[in-house]
């Protein structure tokens, strides 16, 4: 039974099907998931009983068999994140950048907020490009080696001289920065709602931004709420 006093993060960690419910009600479950469910519902002006009922229904009717990443090997999770979410970022950011340029060129004179959205999207793209590289080249291999160490496939001791704690703390800060930029983009776009006169490209741009935000939230959830805490706990208990 889901309790109103549980944090959103705790619910998302233990009930993968809850993510769709949180998205339905606009409840932050990744970077801002430390709040109790009751508080998060109050901020969105929705009754906590309504959300709990939806969560329980999702749990009972979850036929999608969402994988429980809290029990999978680190390498399986990191590879999934790279193949699914990193690949999506690398494909979508250039596409969204191109749409932004077209929309600003066509509608920027009457809708000055579009230029601001374009600038914030460019900043987000720059930051995420470096962020994804750091994860793939440095941090994910470091996490994967933790389990290799336990299974006696032990690399040289020098390879374990760096704790995962410090780089993970930096990545979490960068996640927060990305979340802030996306929240600003959502606000500037009036929750990704296009004006009546919007052209097809305008619609495609805002739809793409909405989809990108949803994917990034799921991406950050897997790292902030599952992978990183597991890695820190694993290192502490097997160090």
- pLDDT tens track for 59-83: 777 655 568 899 999 999 999 999 9
Decide: 37 and 7 in contact? Cβ < 8 Å. yes
Alpha carbons within 13 angstroms on the beta-carbon side of residue 68 total 7
E-assigned strands of 46-145?
none
Domain ranges of the chain: 8-60, 74-238
Taking each helix axis from N to C end, the angle separating 228-238 and 140-150, rounded to the nearest 10 degrees, works out to 40
Task: Round to whole Å and give the CA distance between 15 and 59.
Answer: 7
Task: Work out the average pLDDT over 218-231.
Answer: 95
Q: Which of 143, 153, 167, 163 is CA-nearest to residue 227?
A: 143
- pLDDT tens track for 20-38: 899 889 898 887 778 999 9
3-class secondary structure, 132: helix
pLDDT reading at 208 higher than 90: yes
| 33 burial level (CB within 10 Å; 0-12, 13-18, 19+) | buried
Say which DSSP state 214 is in: H
Task: Work out the average pLDDT over 4-28.
Answer: 87
E-assigned strands of the chain?
none
Q: Which of 216, 41, 37, 237 is CA-nearest to residue 150?
A: 237
Band of the pLDDT at 196, cuts 50, 70, 90?
very high
Q: What is the dihedral of CA 231, 36, 132, 192, to 10 degrees?
A: 160
pLDDT reading at 40 higher than 70: yes
Share of the chain above pLDDT 70, in %: 91
Instruction: Tell me what pLDDT residue 57 has.
Output: 84
3-class secondary structure, 36: strand
- pLDDT tens track for 128-170: 999 999 999 999 999 999 988 766 555 444 444 468 888 999 9
pTM score: 0.81
Task: Round to whole Å and give the CA distance between 151 and 128.
Answer: 33
Task: Work out the average pLDDT over 174-189.
Answer: 96
For the record, the structure tokens of 159 come out as 């390879």
Q: What is the dihedral of CA 36, 39, 41, 42, to 10 degrees?
A: 170
Instruction: Tell me what pLDDT residue 33 has.
Output: 72
Instruction: Tell me what pLDDT residue 238 has.
Output: 78
Q: Which of 185, 186, 179, 181 is CA-nearest to residue 217?
A: 179
Instruction: Tell me what pLDDT residue 156 has.
Output: 47
Task: Round to whole Å and give the CA distance between 178 and 103.
Answer: 22
Instruction: Tell me what pLDDT residue 237 has.
Output: 87
Decide: 210 and 194 in contact? Cβ < 8 Å. no
């Amino acid at each position: 039974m889901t309790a109103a006093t549980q944090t959103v993060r705790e619910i998302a960690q233990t009930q993968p099907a809850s993510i769709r419910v949180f998205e339905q009600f606009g409840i932050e479950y990744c970077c801002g998931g430390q709040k109790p469910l009751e508080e998060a519902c109050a901020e969105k002006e929705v009754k906590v009983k309504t959300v709990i009922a939806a969560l329980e229904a999702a749990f009972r009717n979850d036929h999608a068999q969402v994988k429980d990443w809290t029990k999978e090997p680190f390498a399986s999770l990191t590879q999934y994140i790279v193949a699914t979410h990193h690949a999506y970022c690398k494909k979508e950011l250039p596409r969204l950048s191109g749409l932004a340029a077209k929309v600003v060129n066509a509608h920027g004179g009457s809708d000055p907020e579009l230029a601001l959205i374009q600038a914030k999207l460019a900043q987000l793209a720059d930051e995420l490009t470096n962020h994804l590289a750091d994860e793939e080249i440095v941090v994910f291999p470091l996490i994967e080696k933790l389990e290799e160490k336990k299974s006696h496939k032990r690399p040289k001791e020098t390879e374990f001289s760096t704790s995962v704690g410090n780089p993970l703390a930096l990545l979490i800060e960068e996640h927060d920065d990305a979340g802030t930029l996306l929240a600003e983009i959502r606000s500037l776009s009036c929750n990704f709602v296009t004006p009546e006169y919007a052209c097809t490209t305008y619609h495609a741009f805002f739809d793409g931004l909405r989809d990108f935000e949803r994917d990034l939230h799921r991406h950050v959830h897997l790292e902030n709420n599952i992978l990183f805490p597991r890695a820190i706990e694993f290192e502490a208990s097997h160090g």
